[in-house]
């Protein structure tokens, strides 16, 4: 019974997100109200907010706000934080996604690209991500060092994500974008581990 209830909840969540994306794609993020989305998805406004606490989260789910602090906290005892985080960018690689999922991702990226409000919300998520990571690192490294480490790590991951998404928006196939992402990940984490002297010495 629990499994059935969870499946129904997930179906409702997916339906709301799909309806919202269609409306945002057709009319733009700012032109669509939450009331209109709830009505089109045939749910109460309170139900919509139970799944998506803000209008922005209807678009930004799965695009930003990743739990970097959790990745670091849950890493194996013999694993460095950079080793744990190096595998994280694979999470937004859509190379193995179904065509429909990839098309939905690209549609969401276009909606974000066209909306200053969504871009601001995405930056807010990145800031929260950085602050949470800094708090996790503070006990081990001290607050100032932790803040600097978190800033460098989150900036690098954000750059990787933005570059990858821009390739998709530019028409690159998911496989080509994924291969380029893998190379970028190696470069980014080599820079984090060894510093800018690695590039200056080339």
The answer on 91 and 16 residing in a single domain is no
pLDDT of residue 23: 97
Examine the domain organization and report whether 129 and 185 are in the same domain: yes
Is residue 199 in some structural domain? no
Domain end point (choices 46, 61, 76): 61
- Residue 198 maps to a domain: no
Please give, one letter per residue, the 3-state secondary structure of the chain.
CHHHHHHHHHHHHHHHHHHHHHHHHHHCCCCCCHHHHHHHHCCCHHHHHHHCCCCCHHHHCCCCCCCHHHHHHCCCCCCCHHHHHHCHHHHHCCCCCCHHHHHHHHHHHHHHHCCHHHHHHHHHHHHHHHHHHHHHHHHHHCHHHHHHHHHHHHHHHHHHHHHHHHHHHCCCCHHHHHHHHHHHHHHHHHHHHHCCHHHHCC
Angstrom distance (rounded) from CA 111 to CA 192: 32
pLDDT score for 92: 75
Whether residues 48 and 114 fall in one domain:
no
Q: What share of the chain is helix, strand, coil (3-state, %, to 5)?
A: 75, 0, 25
Among 37, 61, 85, the domain boundary falls at 61
Residues 17 and 79 in one domain: no
Residues 125 and 38 in one domain: no
Residue 52 Cα distances to 47, 57, 101, 182, 199, angstroms: 9, 6, 19, 31, 43
Same domain, 84 and 51: no
Query: Does residue 69 share a domain with residue 44?
Result: no
Structural tokens at position 161 = 């994500």
Q: Which domain holds residue 99?
A: 62-193
Question: Are residue 107 and residue 14 in the same domain, yes or no?
Answer: no
**Is 54 found in the same domain as 85?**
no
Question: Rounded to whole angstroms, how far apart are CA atoms 164 and 173?
Answer: 11
Residues of the chain scoring pLDDT < 50: 200
Overall domain count for the chain: 2
Q: What is the CATH number of the domain that holds 15?
A: 1.10.10.60
Separation CA 64–CA 176 (nearest Å): 22
Encode pLDDT of 151-179 as tens digits.
999 999 999 999 999 999 999 998 899 99
The reply to whether 19 and 95 lie within a common domain is: no
pLDDT at 93: 78
Reported pTM: 0.83
Nearest to 71 by CA among 93, 89, 47: 89
* Residue pair 59/108 in contact by the 8 Å Cβ criterion: yes
pLDDT of residue 194: 86
pLDDT, tens digit, for every residue of 134-156?
A: 999 998 899 999 999 999 999 99
CA distance 52 to 78: 37
Q: Last residue of some domain: 61, 84, 100?
A: 61
CATH number for the domain spanning 72: value is 1.10.357
114 close to 49: Cβ distance less than 8 angstroms:
no
Residues 89 and 140 in one domain: yes
Residue 95 lies in a domain: yes
What per-residue confidence (pLDDT) applies to 149?
A: 94
CB distance 65 to 125 below 8 Å: yes
Is 98 in the same domain as 56? Answer: no
> Which pLDDT score is estimated for 168?
92
Q: What is the pLDDT of residue 2?
A: 64
């Amino acid at each position: 019974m629990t499994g059935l209830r969870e499946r129904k909840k997930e179906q409702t969540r997916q339906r709301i997100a799909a309806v919202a994306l269609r409306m945002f794609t057709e009319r733009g993020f700012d032109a669509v109200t939450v009331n209109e989305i709830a009505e089109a998805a045939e749910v109460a406004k309170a139900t919509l907010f139970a799944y998506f606490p803000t209008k922005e989260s209807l678009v930004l789910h799965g695009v930003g706000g990743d739990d970097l602090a959790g990745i670091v906290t849950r890493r194996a005892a013999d694993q460095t934080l950079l080793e744990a985080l190096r595998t994280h960018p694979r999470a937004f690689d859509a190379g193995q996604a179904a065509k429909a999922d990839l098309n939905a991702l690209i549609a969401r990226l276009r909606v974000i690209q066209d909306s200053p409000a969504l871009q601001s919300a995405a930056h807010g998520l990145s800031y929260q991500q950085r602050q949470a990571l800094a708090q996790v690192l503070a006990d081990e490294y001290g607050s100032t060092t932790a803040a600097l480490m978190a800033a460098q790590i989150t900036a690098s991951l954000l750059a990787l994500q933005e570059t990858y998404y821009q390739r998709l928006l530019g028409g690159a196939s998911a496989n080509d974008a994924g291969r380029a992402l893998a190379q970028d990940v190696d470069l980014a984490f080599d820079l984090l581990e060894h510093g800018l002297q690695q590039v200056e010495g080339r």
